[in-house]
């Protein structure tokens, strides 16, 4: 008989569901370190007894309903009926990650650990997962930087900072409020105590050498010693991002695809008669399922891919800054961030590279380390520093928030809002989309359509689709 399913014991804190911390504070490692896996001992006894146990186990896990349950999960995560029959080896990396997630959901563990689950999903799958987890019967511990997702599923937040864990009840917005209050109180108490200490110290200093007051001075000194040691609030450095925009404006048309057909393989057409356009005022956000063609459209707009039919028109003054979906894989990992910029934009003083990196929070020793040793978020910042160095007037960003922590996502949103040029981006982070986007494009079935009602309308469309197709 094979070993029975794993039992997972969890030993982080008794708090509950969500872990949250800055990039580089290694929440992932915390998760891993917190799990001990034990196999149950094999069943003992006669074959009949073993068989009875197997049957009872099958009943317990509702084996007869398993295929239906599996297909609801797979469909929710975006696997079409045809894909559900495909061998797993035929799936690309992104889809395999989804399979792993599906497997974890299907197993219904006592403790479900999710490390940035929304990174590999599209808006539709995220929305489905939010809904699915609403009725999850046991504990979930999730690390995520997707603020909307956290608000939808978290009942408790664990904040990892300065080598410690602080627990908060409630969702993410409540956490933010309670944290601010907690810090404000901590700072007030600290300042009040400082004042009190000073007051006593003045007395001590004044009468230190006065024999008549010696016993009073002694008792005041004792009082000081007995005061609890309070600490001031450690200020987390604020993340600020700014995209340079001291360029001359020019008038439309700026960037267009006109009646474009495109395929990599003629048997699988990605776009037919695609027409889209953007200008320097554009704040466009593109959503759509995995594999719908979002990255392909961005590359067509960039001019990296050439249409099979139709034309791309780009203004001659257009200078595009491109952030690819796989920027981390494309950075040279063996050199330092300073050297990386020096190779890309040679012949400038080292000071200039350092200054540029510093603007994105890569300063001091961080800038001199091999890029390989930086966290995902830090690598993204190096990529931002590289992208903005030539001062583009138009940004095309493919899933830029994937490795960023919330403060940086927020900072990126504000930087894009303040930027004077045009922006087209692909994202599945609802909050980020709402922050930046003024136009929502949905990429599906070989074309791109503009959703006039923005994200709310898109959400409603998806909910309606889930209901119709019985995914929930």
Ligand X SMILES: Nc1ncnc2c1ncn2[C@@H]1O[C@H](COP(=O)(O)OP(=O)(O)O)[C@@H](O)[C@H]1O
**Phi, psi (rounded to 5 degrees) for 269:** -75, 130
- CB 126 → ligand X: shortest distance, Å? 14
Which of 148, 290, 336, 388 is the binder for ligand X (CB under 6 A)?
A: 290
DSSP 141-162: EEE---HHHHHHH-SEEEEEET
Which of positions 189-208 make contact with Mg ion (CB under 5 A)?
none
Pick 123 or 280: Cβ nearer ligand X: 123
264 binds, among ligand X, Mg ion, none (CB under 5 to 8 A by kind): ligand X
Strands 447-451 and 18-21: unpaired
- Does 295 bind Mg ion (CB under 5 A)? Our answer is yes
CA 246 to centroid of chain Cα atoms: 30
The residue with tokens 């494309």 is 330
Which of 23, 119, 282, 295 is the binder for ligand X (CB under 6 A)?
A: 295
Pick 109 or 291: Cβ nearer ligand X: 291
Which of 16, 76, 117, 293 is the binder for ligand X (CB under 6 A)?
A: 293
Helix (H) or strand (E) holding 259, with range, is: strand 255-265
- CB 289 → ligand X: shortest distance, Å? 7
C-alpha triplet 323, 329, 334: angle, nearest 5°? 115
Q: How many residues bind ligand X (CB under 6 A)?
A: 10
Site string for ligand X, 239-278 (x = CB under 6 A): -------------------------x-----x--------
Q: Where do the H-state alpha helices sit in 208-266?
A: 214-226
Pick 123 or 239: Cβ nearer Mg ion: 123
DSSP 106-122: HT--SEEEEESGGGG--
Q: Which residues contact 101 (CB under 8 A, 6 or more apart)?
A: 77, 114, 117, 120
Pick 18 or 290: Cβ nearer Mg ion: 290
Burial of 56 (0-12, 13-18, 19+ CB in 10 A): exposed
- Does 421 bind ligand X (CB under 6 A)? Our answer is no
288 binds, among Mg ion, ligand X, none (CB under 5 to 8 A by kind): ligand X
C-alpha triplet 409, 411, 414: angle, nearest 5°? 110
Residue 108, sorted as left (phi over 0), alpha (psi -120 to 50) or beta, turns out to be: left
**Which residues are registered as beta bridge partners of 164?**
161
- CB 375 → ligand X: shortest distance, Å? 24
Residue span binding ligand X (CB under 6 A) among the ranges 18-26, 140-148, 226-234, 288-296: 288-296
Pick 26 or 325: Cβ nearer Mg ion: 325
Residue span binding Mg ion (CB under 5 A) among the ranges 164-172, 235-243, 292-300, 445-453: 292-300
Residue span binding ligand X (CB under 6 A) among the ranges 37-45, 126-134, 183-191, 284-292: 284-292
Nearest residue to Mg ion on Cβ basis: 295
Pick 16 or 293: Cβ nearer ligand X: 293
Contact at 8 Å (CB) between 338 and 377?
no
Q: How far is CA 194 from CA 38, 180, 220, in A?
A: 51, 21, 15
Neighbouring C-beta atoms of residue 468, cutoff 10 Å: 8
320 binds, among Mg ion, ligand X, none (CB under 5 to 8 A by kind): none
Pick 25 or 325: Cβ nearer Mg ion: 325
Residue span binding ligand X (CB under 6 A) among the ranges 39-47, 237-245, 287-295, 404-412: 287-295
- The three-class DSSP label of residue 21 is strand
Pick 140 or 305: Cβ nearer Mg ion: 305
Query: Helix crossing, 172-207 with 214-226: angle to 10°?
Result: 160
- CB 324 → Mg ion: shortest distance, Å? 9
293 binds, among ligand X, Mg ion, none (CB under 5 to 8 A by kind): ligand X
- Does 292 bind ligand X (CB under 6 A)? Our answer is yes
Pick 156 or 289: Cβ nearer Mg ion: 289
292 binds, among ligand X, Mg ion, none (CB under 5 to 8 A by kind): ligand X
Tokens representing 219? Answer: 């008792």
Helix (H) or strand (E) holding 76, with range, is: helix 66-76
Which of positions 315-354 make contact with Mg ion (CB under 5 A)?
325
Residue span binding Mg ion (CB under 5 A) among the ranges 33-41, 245-253, 293-301, 403-411: 293-301
Q: How far is CA 55 from CA 64, 65, 74, 135, in A?
A: 11, 14, 26, 27
Sites of contact with ligand X (CB under 6 A): 264, 270, 288, 290-296
Interaction site with Mg ion (CB under 5 A)? 294-295, 325
């Amino acid at each position: 008989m094979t070993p029975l399913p794993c039992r997972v014991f969890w030993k982080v804190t008794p708090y509950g569901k969500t872990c949250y911390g800055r990039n580089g504070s290694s929440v992932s490692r915390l998760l891993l370190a917190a799990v001990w896996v034990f196999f149950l001992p094999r069943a003992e006894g006669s074959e009949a007894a073993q068989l009875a146990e197997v049957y009872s186990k099958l009943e317990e896990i509702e084996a007869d309903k398993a295929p239906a349950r599996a297909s609801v999960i797979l469909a929710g995560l975006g696997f079409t009926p045809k894909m559900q029959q495909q061998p797993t080896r035929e799936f690309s990396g992104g889809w395999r990650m989804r399979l792993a997630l599906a497997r974890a959901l299907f197993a219904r563990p006592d403790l479900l650990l999710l490390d940035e689950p929304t990174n590999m999903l599209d808006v539709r799958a995220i929305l489905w997962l939010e809904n699915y987890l609403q009725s999850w019967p046991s504990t979930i511990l999730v690390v995520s930087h997707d603020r909307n997702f956290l608000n939808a599923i978290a009942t408790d937040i664990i904040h990892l900072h300065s080598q410690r864990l602080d627990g908060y009840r409630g969702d993410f917005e409540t956490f933010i409020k309670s944290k601010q209050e907690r810090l404000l109180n901590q700072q007030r108490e600290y300042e009040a105590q400082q004042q009190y200490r000073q007051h006593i110290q003045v007395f001590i200093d004044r009468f230190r050498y006065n024999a008549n007051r010696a016993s009073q001075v002694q008792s005041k000194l004792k009082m000081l010693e007995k005061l609890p040691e309070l600490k001031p609030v450690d200020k987390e450095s604020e993340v600020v991002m700014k995209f340079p925009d001291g360029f001359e404006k020019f008038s439309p048309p700026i960037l267009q695809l006109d009646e474009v057909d495109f395929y990599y393989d003629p048997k699988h057409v990605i776009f037919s008669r695609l027409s889209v356009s953007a200008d320097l005022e554009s704040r466009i956000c593109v959503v759509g399922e995995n594999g719908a063609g979002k990255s392909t459209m961005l590359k067509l707009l960039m001019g990296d891919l050439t249409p099979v039919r139709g034309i791309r028109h780009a203004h001659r003054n257009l200078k595009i800054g491109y952030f690819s979906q796989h920027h981390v894989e494309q950075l040279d990992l063996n050199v330092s961030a300073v050297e990386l910029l020096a190779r890309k934009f040679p012949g400038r003083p080292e000071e200039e590279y350092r200054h540029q990196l510093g603007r994105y929070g890569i300063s001091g020793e961080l800038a001199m380390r091999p890029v390989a040793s930086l966290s995902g978020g830090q690598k993204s910042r190096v990529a931002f520093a590289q992208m903005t160095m030539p001062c583009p007037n138009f940004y095309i960003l493919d899933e830029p928030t994937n490795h960023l922590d919330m403060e940086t996502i927020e900072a990126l949103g504000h930087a894009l809002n303040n930027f004077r040029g045009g922006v087209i981006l692909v994202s599945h982070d609802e909050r980020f989309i709402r922050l930046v986007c003024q136009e929502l494009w949905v990429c599906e079935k070989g074309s791109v359509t503009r959703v006039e009602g923005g994200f709310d309308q898109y959400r409603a469309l998806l909910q309606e689709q889930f209901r119709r197709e019985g995914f929930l």
